[in-house]
Structure 1
Amino acid sequence: MQGLLSVRGLEKHFGGLAAVQKVDLDLQEGVTTALVGPNGAGKTTLFNLITGNIVPDSGTVTVAGAAVTGRRPHEIARLGVARSFQDLRLFGRMTVRDNVLAAIEHGAWFWQPGGGAARRAREAAVESALERTGLSHLAKARAVDLSYAETKFLSVARILATGARIWLLDEPASGLDLNSRNRFVALVREAVAAGVTVCLIEHNLDIVTELADRIAFLDRGAKLAEGEPAAILRDPELIAIYFGERRP
């Protein structure tokens, strides 16, 4: 069944390297899918192809049935697709609140139409995102002065404020302490319960098993398997690949 976001035959080469090889993937509404595989499997490249940061050599991406292949990242984002990056890409010298406000993109322009009602709606979205991520007390702090875990949650707050219905999260919980990790898991579960579709790249298999409804396993740019987490994580060949025992 075609998903809210669907990928068909997506392919990308960098010189002689096949970074993504004819990948098919469907992200269903209200379902969390984890992309799992060893380093260099093509997971982040797949995200970059979906969001328009890289143009594919072939294949298609659709969002709610609309073709988005070749469209610019901000155009795809306006269709309700939001993503995080491994390097977070925050505005270090801006406050936490302004970082979140900036993520609303054209809604944050001072000449944006809509008057006071629209401005209040934007402010409410920002305050809600800060509250849900536990950052309200740091609203006036600069991003550069936050702890590592706080920057991770700021990245999620920026996604929350956009109201995006599809989240692509690239190693969102890497390096988090146990308390922060549990907060992150609870936040994602809350979003999914509200109908958000999540796809995450995560090397912590404990988090994968806690959050994922489905796993797509990638290696060398190709999707080797897809299914329920228990089945994928019991497959001895896939686990051997994940832990570095390469196929011939």
Structure 2
Amino acid sequence: MSGAAHPLVCRDLSISFGGVKAVQGVSLALPAGKVLALVGPNGAGKTTLFNLVTGNLRADAGEATLDGESLLGLKPWQVARRGVARSFQDLRLFTHMTVRENAMSATERGSWFWQAGDAKARAARVEEALAATGLSDLAESRAVDLAYAERKFLSMARILAAEARIWLLDEPASGLDLSSRQRFAGLLRAANARGITICLIEHNLDVVAELADEIAFLDRGVVLAVGEPQAILRDKALAAIYFGERAA
């Protein structure tokens, strides 16, 4: 579960909040250059797992490693500078900055993703990120003036500009119409083709079925199953848990 085939690995990660065991002994390995989808009902511990890996929460037990080196105890910016980027459900854009300025913010000194290098090269990365997300024509628009879907793509443009090699995406396709979902799918496929490793939290099972190479199903902080997408999505017991049809 480690090495080049699985750059990001969690082993027996656990955290509790009071008497609630939010994540219980989770062990997962992200396959390099692939998409692993985290699926499960609300409260399953998916976002909490992201917060443990990225240093936003400190685990009670267990380990998370990147290329064999521990991430636990690192601050979020330290994890980010190792090449791990994440998106948030609330997007966290600089609403009164332009689209270009938002994307540029991921490359500037003092940002979590700062890398020493030529300013022209950083500017070129920003323009490439805007082009890849279809935002070039909106580069001078303020983020607050964008449609919801374009804000979603702006959050992805910042990740692209940062040149992160591992993406942790928290419901990136939620609220998108069919055309926007197709754009998003194309963006992830292109990232995979460049060797980007992606872990995706997503409630739209059509998106999961289309994009995921592997699914991990979580419930009440526990990984119940990991496997090929169709096998997981067709499992009647897991479907009952997902749609709230099981006994309490």
Q: Which amino acid aligns with 2:192?
A: V
State whether structure 2 residue 40 is matched by structure 1 residue 37: yes
| 2-structure distance, mates of 1:160, 1:140 | 18
State whether structure 2 residue 82 is matched by structure 1 residue 76: no
- Cα offset for 1:125? 0.5
- Cα offset for 1:107? 6.9
- Cα offset for 1:247? 4.8
- Cα offset for 1:106? 2.8
Structure 1 residues 40 and 153: CA distance shift in structure 2, 3 A: same
| 2-structure distance, mates of 1:225, 1:180 | 30
| 1-structure distance, mates of 2:198, 2:104 | 22
| 2-structure distance, mates of 1:228, 1:247 | 26
Structure 2 residue aligned with 1:25 = 28
| 1-structure distance, mates of 2:243, 2:188 | 27
SS at match of 2:167: strand
SS at match of 2:25: strand
SS at match of 1:106: coil
1:212-243 Cα distance to aligned partner (Å, 9 max, x none)? 00000000011001011111111111010000
**Contact persistence 1:132–1:187 (CA under 8 A):** yes
Structure-to-structure mapping, 1:3-152, within 5 angstroms: 3-106=6-109, 114=117, 118-152=118-152
Q: TM-score, normalised by structure 2?
A: 0.95
1:59-115 Cα distance to aligned partner (Å, 9 max, x none)? 111111111111000000011100000000001111111111111253769xx865x
Structure 2: give runs of 5+ residues left out of the alignment: none
Across the aligned residues of Structure 1 and Structure 2, the Cα RMSD in angstroms comes to 1.4
**Contact persistence 1:101–1:108 (CA under 8 A):** no
SS at match of 2:149: helix
- 4+ residue segments displaced more than 3 Å: none
Q: What is the number of equivalent residue pairs in this alignment?
A: 243
